[in-house]
Structure formats: structure tokens, C-alpha cells
């Protein structure tokens, strides 16, 4: 398999774009080698600039639940483009998509669209602070909520729970109001509330997708709800990744835990850039122009994205049984790979939630970021590289989640398992 075209494209990109990519994970740094440059996507497959074809288990990091170039979504986009790319003014499509999302989430009465998941989370946190009149926020190590300054934190030193900046360019003053707790550890959360009586919100990925796929324990989420209620703190579920992927009605429908705010993205744009945040009316009415909390965006709710999202969610709502079908395929995939890994003396931990799947090449269960960091990154890099040569495109980081689309058939899943058997055997033989 030749990748000379991708190598040449990467060399050119590095002279013009920092690191040659516009989002760091795409550089393949954690798996070695050079990134594959994509020329086309169709259904379950990607084709690179060298003409190599791959089964795509990344699906643009989640939004393509119906695969590449879904006919209904593509047609909706083309029709919208014919009327104009952007107006900076209201359109009916915004209201139609808002109505559809609200109908599927019990915790959302009103919603505001933005252009990215980062923007959605940033805005939700501002709204939580404005609503409560408090400054501090609590997040969990290993949960990713975008790259806004107050969320780029690492654990502080000593006994304090307040975070320090994890990136140059982020002033310490911007993160001094961010507290860190350990995922699935309620005692670490209680300590944060001992250290601060000024916590506006707890924000969590209820199904973490950026330390691998690590769902929060149901009991843990119920405890978070209880702590928030006792302290007048808002609970934010960041479902930018899991929304409409783990369940079409949100994690609240799986766990019975109702958040105060929800952030969304990915699927609700049908592959176009989008984000959103929603809550009950009492909270959302604090947003400008109704309330004092300011938030704005020129391209928020742009008509092309709204058309794509409306087509995707309409199709998903009409075919709600798809989630169980996709989960069955995701489960078969990771269980099959685990069996092949075990046959070669390689441990594997697996998880699925709806159309999301994750696996760790590890002998022990992964419950938090520290557990995830104990996994064998070199072994994962070998697996990733070899599966790519076999024609299967997995996320290029062991800390990312995989996705099943409707275009990935049972036959493709079985072919993937067979390929993994060859790869695991090759790895075990050295």
C-alpha cells in the first residue's frame, strides 16, 4: 500500500499550517507515522489521495451517523445552498431544528445554536455563572470540553483542588476558578465543595469520549445530581460527543439523571460545523436579548447547517430502532476483537454505548483518566498502524472513541474482526 501522496501532502501542509494539521490529533503523533490525507468519503468508506480505501470507524469524530454522503442530508444541503450560504438573520430552519431537539430531550425547553462544541460549552458555563451569580466551576480530569481558557487545566499541587493552566497562553487567573475532581470518584467531588462555596456548575461528559470511551457510573451521576441540588449548583451534561450517538433522547434517558444544562454538537449538524446548548426556560431566559448574559455569533444557526441537522435528526427520529441495531454491531465488533486479542495473549477492555464503541489494550477495567493512562500506548500504535494497512481506519489516539454508522454492515464488522485476528497474531509474534 503506497501512501506517497499523503506523505507529499503532509510535507507541503507543514510549511503552511502549524504541524501540518488544523486539529492536533490529526497529526498521528500518538500512533506514529504520517496522517492519511483524505480525498473522498462514500458510505462506510474513505478514499485517500493515493487511492487507498478504508472502512471508516471515525466518521468525522461522530457526526456521520448515516455514513458519508447520505442522500437525504446531501440533498438538504444542496437545496439550502441554492438559497444562499448565510444571512446573519433568522430562518425558519432554526426554529424547526430547535423544535426537533427539544422534542427529544426532556431537560431542554429552549436551545441556542452556535458553531462548535467549544463555543457551546463556553456559553453554557457563562450562563451557569450568570444564573447562579457564582464564579467557580468543577470539571473532571480526562473530560474534554473544548479549548476555551478556563477548561485547559491540569491538577494543582499539594492539597488544593484548583487547577493550573495546561497550555502556554492561558493566564493562571483564567483557571483559578476551575476545580478538578476525579471521574467516577464522588469523594473527590465532595472535597471540591469543601474547598469552595462558590461553585456555579459541575460539567461532565456523562459518557466520556476523550479518554477513550469511559461512561460515568449511574450511581456517580445520581450523587452529582444530589450534591448540586444541596448546594444550588447547576449540573451540565456535555453531550457534544454522546448526544444522539449513545441515545436519541440523551444520557438522561439512560441514567434517569436530569441535568440542568446540556451541550450538543456533532450529529445535530449532520456533518456540518455546529454546537448547541439548552436548558429549562428559567435558565435559558437569562440569555441576551431576553436576559443579561451575553452570547452571540454571526454564523450561529446558519441555514446550511440547520438544513443538514434537520435532515439527519428527522431521519434518526423516524428510525429510532436504529440505535439498537448499531449497538449490536458495535458490541459484536469489540467482543469479536477482544476474543481475537485474548487468543494471542493480549488483554482488551471493551465498552459500547449506542453507536459508540471503545477499547483499551489493557488487563484491568478503565474507570477514569489515570486508568486510561496506564494502557499500553505502544501496543495501540502497532495495532492502529497494522489495521490501517489492512484497510480499517480507527481513531488515531487511544484516548478517542470509535463510531458505527448505518453504512457499516454486519459483513464489514466480520471483516474487521478477521483483520484484527491477523494483526494481533502479527503483534504477538513480534
Of 45, 54, 131, 144, the active-site residue reads 144
| Environment class of 197 (CB within 10 Å of its CB; exposed 0-12, middle 13-18, buried 19+) | exposed
Burial class (CB in 10 A: 0-12, 13-18, 19+), 158: exposed
For residue 50, indicate whether it is catalytic: no
220 three-state secondary structure: helix
CA dist 57 and 395 (Å) reads: 7
| Beta bridge pairs of residue 162 | 179
Identify which of 222, 212, 217 has the alpha carbon closest to the alpha carbon of residue 369: 212
Active-site position among 48, 70, 136, 238: 238
Cα–Cα distance for residue pair 19/16, rounded to 1 Å: 9
Query: Catalytic site residue 45?
Result: no
Hey, what's the torsion of the CAs at 209, 213, 218, 222, to 10 degrees? -20
Q: Are 407 and 44 spatial neighbours (Cβ–Cβ below 8 Å)? A: yes
For β-strands 45-48 and 53-56, DSSP reports them as antiparallel
Among candidate residues 70, 131, 183, 266, the one labeled active-site is 266
CB 258 within 8 A of CB 221: no
Give, rounded to a whole angstrom, the gap between the first and last alpha carbons of the chain. 21
Q: Is residue 266 annotated as part of the catalytic site, yes or no?
A: yes
How is 19-60 classified by DSSP, letter by letter? Answer: GGSSSGGGG-TTT-S-PPPEEEEEBTEEEETTS-EEEESSGG
Give the Cα-Cα-Cα angle 186, 188, 191 (nearest 5 degrees).
115
Return the bridge partners of 137, or none: 178, 201
Active site residues: 144, 238, 266
Amino acid at each position: 500500500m503506497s501512501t506517497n501522496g499523503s506523505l507529499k501532502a503532509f510535507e507541503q501542509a507543514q510549511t503552511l499550517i502549524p504541524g501540518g494539521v488544523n486539529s492536533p490529533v490529526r497529526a498521528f503523533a500518538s500512533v506514529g507515522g504520517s496522517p492519511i490525507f483524505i480525498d473522498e468519503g462514500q458510505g462506510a468508506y474513505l478514499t485517500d489521495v493515493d487511492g487507498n480505501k478504508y472502512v471508516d470507524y471515525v466518521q468525522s469524530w461522530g457526526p456521520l451517523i448515516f455514513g458519508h454522503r447520505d442522500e437525504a442530508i446531501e440533498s438538504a444541503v444542496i437545496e439550502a445552498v441554492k438559497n444562499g450560504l448565510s444571512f446573519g438573520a433568522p430562518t425558519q430552519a432554526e426554529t424547526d431544528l430547535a423544535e426537533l431537539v427539544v422534542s427529544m430531550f426532556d431537560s431542554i425547553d429552549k436551545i441556542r445554536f452556535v458553531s462548535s462544541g467549544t463555543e457551546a460549552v463556553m456559553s453554557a458555563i457563562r450562563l451557569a455563572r450568570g444564573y447562579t451569580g457564582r464564579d467557580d466551576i468543577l470539571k473532571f480530569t480526562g473530560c474534554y470540553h473544548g479549548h476555551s481558557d478556563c477548561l485547559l487545566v491540569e491538577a494543582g499541587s499539594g492539597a488544593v483542588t484548583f487547577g493550573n493552566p495546561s497550555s502556554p497562553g492561558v493566564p493562571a487567573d483564567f483557571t483559578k476558578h476551575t476545580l478538578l475532581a476525579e471521574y467516577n470518584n464522588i469523594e473527590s467531588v465532595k472535597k471540591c465543595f469543601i474547598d469552595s462555596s462558590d461553585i456555579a456548575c459541575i460539567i461532565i461528559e456523562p459518557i466520556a469520549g476523550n479518554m477513550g470511551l469511559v461512561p460515568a457510573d449511574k450511581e456517580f451521576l445520581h450523587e452529582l445530581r444530589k450534591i448540586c441540588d444541596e448546594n444550588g449548583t447547576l449540573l451540565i451534561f456535555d453531550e457534544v460527543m454522546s448526544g444522539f450517538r449513545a441515545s436519541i433522547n440523551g444520557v438522561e434517558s439512560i441514567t434517569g439523571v436530569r441535568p440542568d444544562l446540556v451541550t450538543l454538537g456533532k450529529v445535530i449538524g449532520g456533518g456540518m460545523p455546529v454546537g448547541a446548548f439548552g436548558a429549562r426556560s428559567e435558565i435559558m431566559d437569562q440569555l441576551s436579548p431576553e436576559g443579561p448574559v451575553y452570547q452571540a455569533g454571526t454564523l450561529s444557526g446558519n441555514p446550511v447547517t440547520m438544513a443538514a441537522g434537520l435532515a439527519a435528526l428527522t431521519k434518526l427520529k423516524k428510525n429510532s430502532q436504529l440505535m439498537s441495531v448499531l449497538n449490536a454491531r458495535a458490541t459484536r465488533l469489540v467482543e469479536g476483537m477482544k476474543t481475537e486479542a485474548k487468543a494471542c495473549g493480549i488483554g482488551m477492555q471493551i465498552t459500547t454505548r449506542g453507536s459508540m464503541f471503545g477499547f483499551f489494550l489493557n488487563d484491568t477495567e478503565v474507570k477514569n483518566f489515570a486508568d486510561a493512562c496506564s494502557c499500553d500506548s505502544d501496543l495501540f500504535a502497532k495495532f492502529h498502524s497494522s489495521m490501517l494497512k489492512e484497510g480499517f481506519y480507527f481513531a488515531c489516539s487511544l484516548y478517542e472513541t470509535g463510531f458505527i454508522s448505518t453504512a457499516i454492515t454486519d459483513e464489514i464488522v466480520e471483516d474487521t474482526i478477521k483483520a484484527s485476528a491477523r494483526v494481533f497474531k502479527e503483534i504477538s509474534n513480534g
